[in-house]
Structure 1
Amino acid sequence: MTDFRVAPGQVHEDQLTASIEKHTSQIPSSLYLGAALAAMVASASFHLAKKEHPALFVCQWAAPFLLLGIYNKLVKQHGSDGTTRVSI
């Protein structure tokens, strides 16, 4: 059986990715959680106003906001490429 895992330090991120992560890591993780909660509240408001299509559309924003928050947290903990540690 072939092992396709990438070993730590085997692959490095490019400078564009590192630059984006440097700037986005300064955003607090609570902002992403707040955005997800706001999307849920907005969706519930649309639903109560009997606007089903906007309610479903806005409701789908919560998961990407939470995923961005998780990614943000991982970048803060492990750095851009997993071989460096970011001191915060």
Structure 2
Amino acid sequence: MAFEFTGDKRVHAGEATEGQTTAYIESYTSQVPSGIFLTAAIASISASLVFKAIRKDHAALFVGQWVAPFLILGLYNKMVKQHGSDADTRS
């Protein structure tokens, strides 16, 4: 079964909209300062190092894996603040 790509399938600003649930969540999460996410990432790195130093390897790996999600959430938060929830709602 082959996938056939015909024509331009890119989504342009204003063509797709976010749901009300997403807008509701973003209205609250956009109030969180971006520094919180960076602080959480640094704290999880520090906690992971402490767990590793006291030879709690599983805990070190578990907590250390939180760094990337915190940073990604911080980027998402920053993008919502700068660009808004939806392209078609901008004036």
Normalization by structure 1: what TM-score?
A: 0.91
Q: Is 2:79 the partner of 1:74? A: yes
Per the TM alignment, residue 42 of structure 1 is displaced from its structure 2 partner at its CA by: 0.2
Task: Tell me the number of residue pairs that the alignment of Structure 1 and Structure 2 aligns.
Answer: 85
Q: After the TM superposition, which of the residue ranges 7-16 and 38-47 deviates more from structure 2?
A: 7-16
Counting only pairs closer than 5 Å after superposition, residues 4-83 of structure 1 correspond to structure 2 as: 4-83=9-88
Amino acid at match of 1:17: T
Question: Residue by residue, what CA displacement relative to the aligned partner does 1:43-86 show, whole Å, maximum 9, x if unpaired?
Answer: 0000000111110110000000000000000000111112345x
Is 1:78–1:84's contact at 8 Å kept on the other side of the alignment? no
**Gaps in structure 2 of 5+ consecutive residues:** 1-5
Aligned structure 1 segments of 4 or more residues deviating by more than 3 angstroms: none
**Gaps in structure 1 of 5+ consecutive residues:** none
Once residues 74 and 23 of structure 2 are traced to their aligned partners in structure 1, the CA distance between those partners, rounded to angstroms, is 17
